[in-house]
Amino acid sequence: MPDKIKVLIVDDSALVRKIVIDILKADPEIEVVGTANNGKTAVFKNKVLNPDVITMDIEMPIMNGLEALRQIIQTNPKPVIMMSVLTQDGAEPTFKALELGAVDFIPKPSSILSITVEEIGSLLISKIKSVFKSKINIQSKPEEDDAFEVVPGKQESMPEQAVSKDAGKKIVGIGTSTGGPSSLLAIFRSLPENFPSPVLVVQHMPEGFTRAFAERLNSNSHLQVKEAEDGDVLHPGCGYVAPGHSHILLEKTSGGMMIRTSKGEKVSGHRPSIDVLFDSIAGMYEHESVGVIMTGMGRDGSSGIKNIKDKGGRTIAQDEKTSVVYGMNRVAVEIGAIDVVVPLQDIAKKIVEYL
């Protein structure tokens, strides 16, 4: 019998620890090897127990989850899944944790979200197993590391010759999953002030978090970024993030290209699905499109980006070295769907080049 996946649970609430223990104990492939009620104990137990995966609360006494995460990644790196409360105060540290190196997060049970304890349990188990089976690239990201930092307003405008006169008629679609939020932030920070096309994003993320994520991208980019809503008309220099509960597709109207949201069946195991977006882009824009597939588990987006390439659009994949999980992008490369594979820091430049 194969070894069980060893999990360390970190949360200052005894009730939450018990709920998570009961959820994980029900799965025969997972073993809870320990718990901690603060970050300092978590750092110690990570060294002693050497778990395969850690679940981490953010707000805790003695040492909070962010500081514990930073020390764990610097001393004995392990995949850390954050347990996050969806509030205005909770969203910011959640996304900060992802920038510091957490591989993913799940929501805590909350009246704000229409998601049950059973659904959260199923989500947590699937993420623990996926993280354990995948080749996770965990990199220390200290705060002083500003390799991808671009201060809005400080960037040079895109040179006129860098884009064709028809660039405004084109569209950019980006799909990502595990490891995506911090990577998307790096790209949006690097897109220039006079960016000529709309950018549509599918980031696999629980319902309720996508609005806060869109706001974070908006505050760190020259683009105007929002959570996509049914009926949004696409505008150049604007970004649209798929809501956590719906697919996004495109519809041509007399007023311009419009976003339609759909709560249809999951595609490639996801709603929103990258494949749904990319297929819609390929159908509406054909060769006037740029598709980007990035870090993430599974294969969502790989067939859709192949569709973009087959219709004459240009396609980009994030490389293995800068991906937290080389999964979706690996599949896209293997099936011949990609024109160019580049590191994260070169994706924005390549997008501009293709426009």
We report the CATH number of the domain holding residue 121 as: 3.40.50.2300
Nearest partner of 91 among 131, 99, 120, 184, judged by Cα: 99
Kindly tell me if the per-residue pLDDT of 22 is higher than 90.
yes
User: Are 94 and 195 contained in the same domain?
Assistant: no
Kindly tell me if the per-residue pLDDT of 181 is higher than 70.
yes
The reply to whether 71 falls in a domain is yes
User: Are 307 and 202 contained in the same domain?
Assistant: yes
The reply to whether 220 falls in a domain is yes
Q: If you average pLDDT over every residue of the chain, what do you get?
A: 87
The reply to whether 147 falls in a domain is no
The reply to whether 152 falls in a domain is no
Question: If you ran DSSP here, which 8-state letter would residue 301 be given?
Answer: T
pTM: 0.83
User: Are 180 and 121 contained in the same domain?
Assistant: no
Distance CA 118, CA 109 (A): 10
Q: Once rounded to an integer, what is the mean pLDDT over residues 276-299?
A: 95
Predicted confidence band of residue 152 (pLDDT cuts 50, 70, 90): very low
User: Are 208 and 110 contained in the same domain?
Assistant: no
Predicted pLDDT of residue 163: 46
Strand duo 5-10 + 199-203: pairing: unpaired
Task: Say which residue the tokens 């999964």 belong to.
Answer: 327
pLDDT > 90 in the chain, percent: 66
User: Are 317 and 175 contained in the same domain?
Assistant: yes
Predicted pLDDT of residue 113: 55
User: Are 167 and 98 contained in the same domain?
Assistant: no
Helix (H/G/I), strand (E/B), else coil: 248: strand
Predicted confidence band of residue 164 (pLDDT cuts 50, 70, 90): very low
Distance CA 145, CA 101 (A): 12
User: Are 102 and 178 contained in the same domain?
Assistant: no
User: Are 126 and 168 contained in the same domain?
Assistant: no
- Which of 85, 115, 133 is a domain's end point? 133
The reply to whether 105 falls in a domain is yes
The reply to whether 319 falls in a domain is yes
- Tokens encoding 32: 């809870």
pLDDT in tens, 42-72: 999 999 999 999 999 999 999 999 999 999 9
Predicted confidence band of residue 255 (pLDDT cuts 50, 70, 90): confident
Predicted pLDDT of residue 114: 59
Structural domain boundaries, residue 315: 160-354
Counting the structural domains of the chain, the total is 2
Q: Give the other-Cβ count within 10 Å of 304's Cβ.
A: 27
Predicted confidence band of residue 7 (pLDDT cuts 50, 70, 90): very high
User: Are 181 and 293 contained in the same domain?
Assistant: yes
Q: Once rounded to an integer, what is the mean pLDDT over residues 115-127?
A: 83
Least confident of 28-42, 135-149, 245-259, 335-349: 135-149
Least confident of 46-50, 111-115, 174-178, 224-228: 111-115
Helix (H/G/I), strand (E/B), else coil: 283: helix
Q: Which residues are catalytic?
A: 177, 204, 300
Predicted pLDDT of residue 260: 97
We report the CATH number of the domain holding residue 269 as: 3.40.50.180
Helix (H/G/I), strand (E/B), else coil: 195: coil
The reply to whether 23 falls in a domain is yes
Q: Where are the beta strands (DSSP E) in 188-324?
A: 199-203, 224-227, 238-241, 247-253, 256-262, 289-293, 314-318
User: Are 118 and 178 contained in the same domain?
Assistant: no
Q: Is the dihedral of CA 325, 329, 333, 338 positive or negative?
A: negative
User: Are 128 and 174 contained in the same domain?
Assistant: no
Nearest partner of 267 among 282, 283, 259, 278, judged by Cα: 278
Predicted confidence band of residue 324 (pLDDT cuts 50, 70, 90): confident
Distance CA 324, CA 103 (A): 7
The reply to whether 178 falls in a domain is yes
Q: How many residues does the chain have?
A: 355
Predicted pLDDT of residue 158: 43
Give the angle subtended at the CA of 304 by the CAs of 301 and 307, to the nearest 5°.
Answer: 150
User: Are 206 and 330 contained in the same domain?
Assistant: yes
